[in-house]
Structure 1
Amino acid sequence: MAPWALLSPGVLVRTGHTVLTWGITLVLFLHDTALRQWEEQGELLLPLTFLLLVLGSLLLYLAVSLMDPGYVNVQPQPQEEAKEEQTAMVPQVVPLRRCRYCMVLQPLRARHCRECRRCVRRYDHHCPWMENCVGERNHPLFVAYLALQLVVLVWGLYLAWSGLRFFQPWGLWLRSSGLLFATFLLLSLLSVVAGLLLVSHLYLVATNTTTWEFVSSHRIAYLRQRPGNPFDHGLTRNLAHFFCGWPSGSWEALWAEEEEEEGEGSSQAV
């Protein structure tokens, strides 16, 4: 590995997240918080559970950050060429186009990410804190990470508050609890951010839409020509498709299926 690869944005961001995570955990253990009191009293179950949750959230973060979010292959494999040919047969129903940057035929709901320089299937957004896109493959893990991270942050917020003592003189308090108070403020900010992100993404999942589609629906061809969200098939089916991949099939096939259903409904109404 080249030396400058160690200074790439991805390495720096992931290292910063890891150091910050364990740094905050160390502060909570070193100060007189409930976490340290449980440890001193021999009640190791709760401290161990907290450490496992922290480790789990960090592993989920690294998984989402490092995995392929669903890149569209620039040179399709033989099994994908058939899919591309099938996709190319749907232009009368779905306005597909070639990416002007990497020249691949973009599947429905894909978008080119300028940071990653790749087209991503079911593109949601590029997360600078992950230094990776959130797309078709890692979006479910991203939501799971947000949920677990929020649990860890709220628990850490309680632990930090349990160690603060405000009756001491200002100078003494600042020396003994200044770092813990700064940790409390940081955890408060991160908890608000994680909570808002989790709520927003749960709403997007429930309606089967993406951040990109929600923010830029007026700019997206396949949404401008429809009065509503063509991918919203109800809460149960949306959740099943997002977390379990059911029903399976391309977005083009689901679009065409809905077009046929609407056409049959219109003919019956006539």
Structure 2
Amino acid sequence: MARGVFRSGVLVRAAHTLLTWAVTLVLFLHNTDLRQCEERGELLQPVLFFLLVVLSVVLYFAVSLMDPGFILIDTVKCVHGESEEMEKMLPQASTPRLRRCGYCLLQQPMRAKHCHTCKQCVRRYDHHCPWIENCVGERNHRWFIVYLLVQLLALLWALLIALSGILPSVTWSLWFRVNGFLLAALAVVGVFSVVVVVLLCCHLYLVSVNCTTWEFMSRHRISYLKSCEAEENPFDRGVVCNLWDFFCICRTVIWEQVYHRNNQDTV
């Protein structure tokens, strides 16, 4: 994890953190609901908001520095420790053969992809996120969505707090001078809120149908999806099962077996 701190993403992470605390400081220093609660000695709301911001920053760094599922060994083996290769476990007639990455030369399990930014193959690759400067893959995808949920709560709360501190004035120029910092914070929070809402909705939809961003955007170029019909998803087990598996089952999934089983069910 410490190695990830010194990668090129350090500037992105530092900028995100500084912006988060700058907006938080503005909300606490101006005449907002937070400031009024502090002056009245009612500390519950300020403390809860501060803890929510801290939680969002902690989750941001956790997702940003977490291993998304990098493939580090050449031979794909059974996750239970058996010695035979995956290819020998699977019926080759109905399951596409495992391919070897043309960049790092490692054998890729199904749904894996090489990330040109991270320069490694990632299991159940979703996308490389410039916001966290890390890939979103099998290991950190659920935590990425949890982070988006917490971040959205913090942003919406910050939006209400910023609006509560806007003061009226006799002229427009004076109004802008009095509320300048709050208006800037409001603009930042508003833009981030829209971005997070869009991201969260897209990811929740894709998770509910057991599809990744990469598979959704590049379906026509992916070998194991080319033969499927336009609306067919060989990994979809229904919304409830997809959500349960995604959020509640923390293990490496052998997607070749899921693919083969679902193909058999549709025959």
Per the normalisation by structure 2, the TM-score is 0.90
Per the normalisation by structure 1, the TM-score is 0.89
| 1:241–1:247 Cα contact (<8 Å) kept | no
Q: Secondary structure at the match of 1:181?
A: helix
CA distance in 2, matches of 1:200, 1:28: 30
Residue 30 of structure 1 aligns with which residue? 29
Which amino acid letter does the alignment assign opposite residue 113 of structure 1?
C
Higher share in helix: 1
Change (3 A) 1:246 1:113: closer
Matched, 1:260 2:264: yes
Residue 236 of structure 2 aligns with which residue? 232
| 1:54–1:152 Cα contact (<8 Å) kept | yes
Q: Which runs of 5+ in 1 are unaligned?
A: 264-270
Q: Secondary structure at the match of 2:104?
A: coil
Alignment of 1:94-243 (within 5 A): 94-95=95-96, 96-227=98-229, 228-243=232-247
Alignment deviations for residues 208-244 of structure 1 (CA, whole Å, 9 cap, x no partner): 1000011111111111111201111101110111011
Q: Percent identity?
A: 51
Q: Which moved more, 1:13-22 or 1:252-261?
A: 252-261
| 1:240–1:246 Cα contact (<8 Å) kept | no
Q: Cα RMSD (Å) of the superposition?
A: 2.2
Q: Which moved more, 1:163-172 or 1:182-191?
A: 163-172
Which amino acid letter does the alignment assign opposite residue 234 of structure 2?
P
| 1:71–1:120 Cα contact (<8 Å) kept | yes
Q: C-alpha displacement at 1:176, in angstroms?
A: 2.1
Change (3 A) 1:261 1:155: same
Change (3 A) 1:6 1:150: closer
Q: Secondary structure at the match of 1:9?
A: coil
| 2:70–2:121 Cα contact (<8 Å) kept | yes
Q: Which moved more, 1:7-16 or 1:244-253?
A: 244-253
Which amino acid letter does the alignment assign opposite residue 16 of structure 1?
A
Which amino acid letter does the alignment assign opposite residue 10 of structure 1?
G
Q: Secondary structure at the match of 1:133?
A: strand
| 1:240–1:247 Cα contact (<8 Å) kept | no
| 1:87–1:107 Cα contact (<8 Å) kept | no
Which amino acid letter does the alignment assign opposite residue 107 of structure 2?
L
Count of aligned positions: 259
Q: Which runs of 5+ in 2 are unaligned?
A: none
Q: C-alpha displacement at 1:79, in angstroms?
A: 7.2
